[in-house]
Structure 1
Amino acid sequence: QDSVRLLAVEGCAALGKLLEPQDCVAHILPVIVNFSQDKSWRVRYMVANQLYELCEAVGPEPTRMDLVPAYVRLLRDNEAEVRIAAAGKVTKFCRILNPELAIQHILPCVKELSSDSSQHVRSALASVIMGMAPLLGKDATIEQLLPIFLSLLKDEFPDVRLNIISKLDQVNQVIGIDLLSQSLLPAIVELAEDRHWRVRLAIIEYIPLLASQLGVGFFDDKLGALCMQWLQDKVYSIRDAAANNLKRLAEEFGPEWAMQHITPQ
Structure 2
Amino acid sequence: MDKASLRLSGRVAAHGNGRIGNEKFTLTASTGFANGGTVTLRATPGFSPAYDEGEKKLNFQGDSISNVADIGNLRDIDVQFSKGGVELAGQTCDVTVARDHSDDDGHNNPTGVQIKSNVDKVGDVTITAIQAGHKTLNNEDARSDNNAVRIAADIPLSDVNADLTGSVDYDLVSKNANVRIGYHKDDITVKLRTLIKQDGGDKRTAESTINLDYSGLEGIGVGVEVKDNKEGHLQVTKDDFKLKVPIKDNKVETNDASITYNWAIDM
**TM-score when normalising by structure 1:** 0.28
Question: Which is richer in strand?
Answer: 2
Higher RCO structure, 1 or 2 (CA under 8 Å, sep 6+)? 2
Question: Which is richer in helix?
Answer: 1
